[in-house]
Structures are given as structure tokens and as C-alpha cells.
Structure 1
Amino acid sequence: MFKQVNHDRLTSRLAQTSITLAFAAVLTACANYAGIHSDKDMAEPQSYATAQSLPAADGGRWPAPDWADQFGDAQLHALLDEAIAGSPTLDQARARIAAASAYSETARANTLPQVGASYSWTRQRYSENALVPPPYAGSWQSENKGLLSASYELDLWGKNREALRAAVSQVQASQADAEAVRLALDTSIARSYNQLARLYALRDITQSDVAQREQIVRITAGRIANGLDTEVERKTADANLATSRATLSALDGRIVATRYQIAALLGKGPDRGLSIDRPRLGIGDEVRLPGNLPADLVSRRPDLVAARWRVDSMTHDIKEAKAEFYPDINLSASLGLDAFGFGRLLTAASRTMSAGPAIHLPIFDGGALRAQLKGRYADFDYAVATYNQTLVTALSDVATGLSQIRSTDAQLVDATSAQDAARSAQQLALTQYRAGLTNQLTVLNAETNALAAERAVADLKMDRRDQQIALAAALGGGYTDTQADAIAAR
């Protein structure tokens, strides 16, 4: 008896060992991802040399979400609010967020148990020479079947969980994309609005030039009457006046076109642009960079944040693809009623039940899983490269914006001095011309120089404001990623 027990135990152990060895052999023969990897990493902003190009300043700070209010124009603020409410471009971005959210809900559903119910009715004639015995053989029967079923994938290797995390990261990326679109729209409106202010400033200068040349025409007429000038000077004065008036008309046309452009950015018809009042933009805040550059830029620029989330999403896609190499175990069960006819359907004898696991193990797939994983790694490498390039571009945008503002400030000092000198020379030449002490050519040269100096100063002032707008956008326009710590934790 004792020998028989030991023999049974030995047989059981041998059977278990054989099963284990067989299972190990099957796993060894399964598809695997050996040798597939990536050596790409996201660049750290501190790894780039920026100390000289991006110097921190005392009192420097990041732009606020209402950064456009620094120019003191209530109409600009209202236009930005109007664009957020009705721009088709923003509607497109919101639709992309909704699509990504729907995909994440689908991925979340795959991590939960699935329960369903079904009912079917079938009218069928059963063969007399097949499996169904008499009295049903050779007869028509109505089969009623109602089932309640449930299934659940154990997800031992985290495939569904990683798919969900990838989808959630894509939602975050879409939300950051929407912020990038909003910032681009705000920037475009502000710059177009500043362009409208530029055109009005140039129109004022040209209008003053028209008045000045009308005065020269009158003085020339008086000089001709006194025998000091000829018809050549009259024709020259008339031609210069006509040129100035043509320039004024051209500026009026550009003003209308800019109004239409702003209306399009607002998502409205062109008539909306005609109701925009003349801009009243101020100088704006003093330009000072925050002290935590470039480290915090990655959470302040929406395009950088979107690129980071896409890298995070691809990380989870890779983990999902790796989990495909391991066995899937799915538990399922069903309970229902199945009977011929309606009379016996609701009886205990019509009960039907089933339960059990289903296991899927990839052994040989022709390299499909490895190819899929290679594709995921390629997408990951692309996402990393996109992030790194976006970071380089962001640092360059900030440095370029700051250097342009500093250059414009320096130019304005000299341009303002030149403007003052040209105005004085113009007034002196006009006084001498009226008194008969100089000729018309001297007056025209002085006027041309004064006009160019005024336009140069006006352009530099508008350029500086345009550069301030661009720098605010380069610094993120007041955006902050509240989920940045989630990426760092992962």
C-alpha cells in the first residue's frame, strides 16, 4: 500500500514536471521581441547653452493669460474674447479633443468586464438523416433562445491598461494642441490689430504730407506771380501732391484689407471688420525674461507640452505592443434558456449554462508582432525627434524675440534724433522758400527726409509692439500645463 502511494506521488510529480517543461518549450518557441529597442531620449532644456542669449532679469515674469491687456486697448481684449467664442479654427481643435476623448473611453471600456444579453427565434426544419432524433427529425420547429453572457480579459500583462494610458496621453496632447491653436489665433489677431494701428499711423503721416505739399503748391503759385519760379516748379509741386494723395488712397485700401483679415480671424463676415474702431494701443510692459528659463519653458509652451504628451503616449503604445507577445486569458460565462416552442421556454429544463477560460498564445505569426513593435518604436523615435526640434525652435523663438526688441530699442534712439533734425530742417527750408531765400528742390529734399524719418520712427514703434506680441507667444502666452508632474512621474 505504501509503495502504491509513493508510486502515485512520483507519477503526479513527473506529470507536473512534464507539463511545466512542455509549457516552457512552447514559450521558448513563441514570438518574442528580442533585439527591438530605441536609444532616443527627450532633450533636457538645461542641456542647451542659453545663458548669454536668455539672460534672466530682476522682476522678470512669465506672460499672464491676459498678456494683451498690457497695451491698454479694451477693443483688442474684446476681439480676442470674440474669437474664442466663434472661431471655426478653435472649433476644429475642440472636435479633435472630443475625438481623442471618445477613443480613450473605448480604451477604458476594454479594461472592464463586458456583460450582454441576447434573444433569438429560429424557424427550422430538421433533417431526418442528421443528428436530431425523432420526433423532431423531419419536422419544423421554432427554437427560442435567450442568453445572458459576461466576459472579462484578465490583462495579466497590462496590454489594455497601457492602451488606456496611451489614449489618455493623446487626450492631453489634443488639449495642449487646442491651447496652441488658441495662442496662435490670439497672436495673429493682436499682430493684425497692430498692423491696423501701423497703417493708421502711416496714414496720419501721409495726410500731414498731403497738407504740407498743398502748402508748397500755394507758395509756388505766389512765387510764380512774383517771377521767382516757373511752370516747372508748379508742375513739380502738383506731381508731388498727386503722389502723396495716391499713397493716401493706397493706405486706405490696405486698412480695409486688414479689417477684413481681422474679421476672418474672428470667424465672421467681412462686414464685421468694417465696424472695428481705430486701435488705441499703448507701449506695453517692460520686457524682462523670467529667471527660470529655459527649464520651465517645457511646461509653458503648449506646442512643447503637446509634443511631450505624444512621447508619453508612444511609450505606452510600445508597452502595449510588447504585451501582445504574451498569452491572453479571457474568462467567459453565459446563462440562458433554450427550447423548441414557447410553451417550455420558461421551465427549469430549458436552462443552459456555460463557463470557462479561453487562452490565446502567439507562437508563429510570420513576424507580424515584431513588425508592429518596430513600427511603434519608429513612431516613438519620431515623437522624440519632434519634441527635441520643438524645444530648439522654442528656445530660438525666445532668443530671437528678445534680441529683436533690444535692437529696435537701440534703433529708436537714433531714429528719433533723426526725426527731430529732419523736422527742423523741413521747417527751416519751408520758411526760407516762402521768403525767397532758397529754391523748391531744397524744400522737397527736406520734406522727403522728414517724411522718411517719421515713417521710420512709426515703423520701429509698431515693430517693437509686434515683437512684444511675438515674445509673449514664444513664452507660452500665459499657458501652464497642470499635468506636467504626471509626465515626470511616469
Structure 2
Amino acid sequence: MQKIWSISGRSIAVSALALALTACQSMRGPEPVVKASIPSSYTNASGTSVAEQGYKNFFADQRLLQVLDLALTNNRDLRIAALNIQRAQQQYQITENNQLPTIGASGSVLRQVTPTRDPNNPYSSYNVGLGVTAYELDFWGRVRSLKDNALDTYLATSSARDATQIALISQVAQAWLNHAFANANLKLAEQTLKAQLESYNLNKKRFDVGIDSEIPVRQAQISVETARNDVANYKTQVAQAKNLLNLLVGETVPENLLPAQRVTHITNTNSIGAGLPSDLLNNRPDVRAAEYKLSAAGANIGAAKARLFPTISLTGSAGYASTDLNNLFKSGNFAWSIGPSLDLPIFDWGTRRANIKISKTDQEIALSDYEKSIQSAFREVNDALAVRQNIGDRLAAQRRLVDATNTTYKLSNARFRAGIDSYLTVLDAQRSAYGAEQGLLLLEQANLNNQVELYKTLGGGVKANTTDEVEKQPSSSDVKYKKVDQK
């Protein structure tokens, strides 16, 4: 018995040494160089990035904040993204467990006849024990590379969930604004319809008493029916805006949280800063997700290269065996076995090397996706900044246009009532004033949407409060180079 345990002890020591060498080798190559042509600064932008603010600090209206909280709780896309994180997390746990031996209990009863014993007298044998089944000794880092790939995939999925949250907050805010301005346009159309009806009634009276011909009456009627069509159209838009908001939120939004008129401001921030380009790479979760996918592709190369080398697996068992069940656990029936196995395909017709080339191609694709995600992010920010640069001048000009057309309408209407001008002048001035008011509403909505868009494109919306901390988890490639630098 002492000899058995001595041999067993040496075997365990050899196994422990093999386990210690498991993570010493890695077939992973150098990480590719990213060439995304990142600008050194934004055009016409300065200050701290507004993305540093939590959405509860950025948005000013308490009704909108309550709608956002409902959406973050009930939205199905965000729920799916969270479930994808759970799935990736469990997948990572599986690959991490693959680095450890699988130990299982076994037991068997075998009824048999052998030539060495009486052929006419079958006998039974009993076995019970613990065993390690085909545990791969990861000399070349294949299992470790698969684990790194699973980790990067999990981190990419987590970043994708953050990107979904940012997009959801932006969509809900803009849908909420759309409902507000659809209501504002509806009220403007109703006011215009009322004015058109008054003009129609006036023209009809003038026609009835013989002052004017029927033409002004019909012109006024055309304006009335056009206004009625606009009223019906905006009622439809209000209903559709509410339906979209309910879909994004995941449930029916209470009426007291819906804006019944146009919103004058959506944020308490007076100056919306863009920060530095380097801030964008840290704040945009979609860029981080692409970075994690690039790292995962690098880990796949390591796993594919490791397949060029032998796969060494260790199997072992220890337990009791006996032909008599009553004596199974007695001294002398203890049995054990341990030994490695080697798997090295000799002729695979280039399959393993083809898999390496596929992995390298996948890495090049991931690199291009990463570079494109960076370029797209900067383009989205610059587009939002371009709108921001000129929206103030456009609003000022549009407000002056509204004042001018309203004044023209009042003057032309007064001259018509005094009998100086025809109704055609009034009609033209009224249409111009109505169009200018509609244009002002569109620009005011575009201004507020632009503030939301800029907040989103800069990466704002991951944090609820400005004081919250968002920690970026290092990818497997980051950990690799960190270890190299420490050495």
C-alpha cells in the first residue's frame, strides 16, 4: 500500500508540474496597428464632453426622466441585450471551467465469462471510484486562447448592451419631443382653421350682399379645407408619435407624462461641449465593443496556431474493484490508473493551416470594423456639431420671418377689410405666415433633437448620474501586453 501511494504521489507531482506549465505558452501573435485617421480636435467645439453627464443631469424635464426610467425597465430590446450578456457570461464560465480537470464518480456492475475462468460459471465484477476524464494539458495555450476569446466576447456583448441603452435614451427623448411638436403643429393648424373659417364667413357675407364676387368665397373655402386636412394629418401624427413612444417604453405611457405642447428646452446645459477625440473612444460603447471583437479575433489565432502542436490529455481514476460486492471496500481492492494521451494528426491536407489563415482573415475583418466604427463615430459627432454651429442663426432668421409674415398678414387683412386690397393678398399673406410658423416649429424641434443627438453621439447615456463611475474592463490583449510590460 505504501508503494502504491508513493507512485501515486509522484504521479500527482508530475501532474501538478504539467498544470503549472499550462499557461506558459501562447501562440497569440502581435496585435494589429489601428489606422483610423483620428483627428486631433473637433471643428468648432470645446469644453468638457457632455457625455460625462448622467442622463438624469443632462435632461431637464422631470416628465421625460420618468419616461426614460420606464423605458430602461420595460424596453424589450434592452431586455434582450441584458439576456445576451447573461448568455455570454455563462459561455465564458464554461471556457474558464475547461482549464480545470473534470472529476466524476463512476460505478459499474459487469456480468461476464472469460476463458481464464470456468466458461460455464459466469461471474460478476464491481467497480466504484473517481476519475479525471481527458483533461487537456494546455502547453500551447489553446484552451487559454479560447477563454480569452470568450472573455472578449462577453465584454463586447456588455458594451453592446450599453450602446443599446444610449440609443434607447436618444430614441425615447426624440419620440417624446416628436409627440410634443406634433401637438404644437396640431394646435397651430386648429388656430389656422379657425382664422380661415372667419375669413370664409366674412367673404360669404360680402358675396351675399353683393360687394364681392364668388371667387373670394371659393378661395377662402379652399384655405378652410386645406386647414382641415392639416388638422386631421396632425391628429394622426400625434397618435403615431404616442404609439412609437409606447413601443420604445414597452408599456403605455401615462398621459400626465406626455407633453401637450411644444418644449422650449430639453437640457439644463447652456454650452454643450464635445471634449477631446480621445474622450470619444472611451465614452462610445460601440467603439469599445468593436475593440473587444478585435481582441477576440486575436485570441482565435492563438487557438488555431496551437492546433499545429500535439494535444496532450490526462486521464486518471482511483477506486475499488472486486468480484464480491461485500468485499468491495476492503483492503487490497484499491485500484488506480493515470496516464497521458497524445493526439497529433499527421496528414490533415492543410486543414489546420487553413484554419489559421481563416482566423487571420477574421482578425483583418475585425480590424476594419473597428476602424470603421471609429470613423463613423467621429462622422456622427461632426455632423451633429455642424448642425449645432448654424442652428442658432437659422432659428433667429426664422423668428424674424415669422414676425414679418404675421405683420404682413395683419396689414393685408386690414387693407382688405377697408376695401383697399383684394382677398388674394390676404390669402397669400396668410399662407406665408402659416408656413413660417410651421418652419419655426420644425427648426425648434431640430434644435432640441440635435442636442439629444450630440449627447448620444458623444457616448452620453450610460450613466444615470454624473457622479457614477463607469469602469472600462481591459480586453485579453490589454492584459497580455500589461503582463509583458511588467516583465
1:477 aligns with one of 460, 465, 482: 460
* C-alpha deviation, 1:467, in angstroms: 1.6
Could you say which residue in structure 2 is the equivalent of 1:13?
none
Matched, 1:48 2:38: yes
Deviations 1:81-125 (A, max 9, x none): 11111111112111211111111111111111322110112333x
AA in 2 matched with 1:290: A
Could you say which residue in structure 2 is the equivalent of 1:175?
158
Could you say which residue in structure 1 is the equivalent of 2:259?
278
* C-alpha deviation, 1:451, in angstroms: 0.6
Could you say which residue in structure 2 is the equivalent of 1:148?
130
Question: Which deviates further from its counterpart, 69-78 or 427-436?
Answer: 69-78
1:108 aligns with one of 80, 92, 96: 96
Question: Which deviates further from its counterpart, 222-231 or 295-304?
Answer: 222-231
Could you say which residue in structure 2 is the equivalent of 1:18?
none
Contact preservation (8 Å) 2:50, 2:458: yes
In 2, distance between residues paired with 1:445 and 1:359?
Answer: 91
Question: Which deviates further from its counterpart, 346-355 or 396-405?
Answer: 346-355
Contact preservation (8 Å) 2:50, 2:275: no
AA in 2 matched with 1:315: G
Larger radius of gyration: 1
1:161 aligns with one of 138, 144, 148: 144
Could you say which residue in structure 1 is the equivalent of 2:107?
119
In 2, distance between residues paired with 1:105 and 1:70?
Answer: 37
Could you say which residue in structure 1 is the equivalent of 2:377?
394
* Cα distance change on mapping 1:60 and 1:223 into 2, 3 Å: farther
* C-alpha deviation, 1:322, in angstroms: 1.6
Aligned-pair identity in percent equals 24
Secondary structure, counterpart of 2:51 in structure 1: coil
Matched, 1:289 2:302: no
Matched, 1:307 2:290: yes
Matched, 1:77 2:53: no
Could you say which residue in structure 2 is the equivalent of 1:354?
337
2:419 aligns with one of 436, 440, 444: 436
Could you say which residue in structure 2 is the equivalent of 1:254?
237
1:325 aligns with one of 290, 308, 314: 308
Question: Which deviates further from its counterpart, 479-488 or 403-412?
Answer: 479-488
1:242 aligns with one of 213, 225, 250: 225
* C-alpha deviation, 1:390, in angstroms: 0.8
Deviations 1:246-280 (A, max 9, x none): 21011111110111111111223xx5577752256
In 2, distance between residues paired with 1:112 and 1:138?
Answer: 46
* C-alpha deviation, 1:430, in angstroms: 1.4
Could you say which residue in structure 2 is the equivalent of 1:5?
none
Question: Which deviates further from its counterpart, 342-351 or 90-99?
Answer: 342-351
In 2, distance between residues paired with 1:462 and 1:169?
Answer: 40
2:178 aligns with one of 152, 176, 195: 195
Question: Which deviates further from its counterpart, 112-121 or 337-346?
Answer: 337-346
AA in 1 matched with 2:429: A
* C-alpha deviation, 1:450, in angstroms: 0.5
* Cα distance change on mapping 1:474 and 1:336 into 2, 3 Å: same
Could you say which residue in structure 2 is the equivalent of 1:425?
408
Secondary structure, counterpart of 1:364 in structure 2: coil
AA in 1 matched with 2:108: S
* C-alpha deviation, 1:366, in angstroms: 2.2
Secondary structure, counterpart of 1:348 in structure 2: coil
In the superposition, the TM-score normalised over structure 2's length comes to: 0.84
Contact preservation (8 Å) 1:260, 1:273: no
Any unmatched runs of 5+ in structure 1? Answer: 1-32
Contact preservation (8 Å) 1:318, 1:373: yes
Deviations 1:428-484 (A, max 9, x none): 111222222221111111101111111111111101111221111111124486225
RMSD between superposed Cα atoms in Å: 2.5
Secondary structure, counterpart of 2:360 in structure 1: helix
Could you say which residue in structure 2 is the equivalent of 1:14?
none
Could you say which residue in structure 2 is the equivalent of 1:138?
120
In 1, distance between residues paired with 2:223 and 2:300?
Answer: 70
* C-alpha deviation, 1:238, in angstroms: 2.5
Contact preservation (8 Å) 1:69, 1:77: no
Secondary structure, counterpart of 1:343 in structure 2: helix
* C-alpha deviation, 1:281, in angstroms: 3.0
In 2, distance between residues paired with 1:50 and 1:230?
Answer: 69
AA in 2 matched with 1:482: E
Could you say which residue in structure 2 is the equivalent of 1:465?
448
* Cα distance change on mapping 1:60 and 1:433 into 2, 3 Å: farther
* C-alpha deviation, 1:393, in angstroms: 0.6
Alignment length, in residue pairs? 443
* C-alpha deviation, 1:421, in angstroms: 0.6
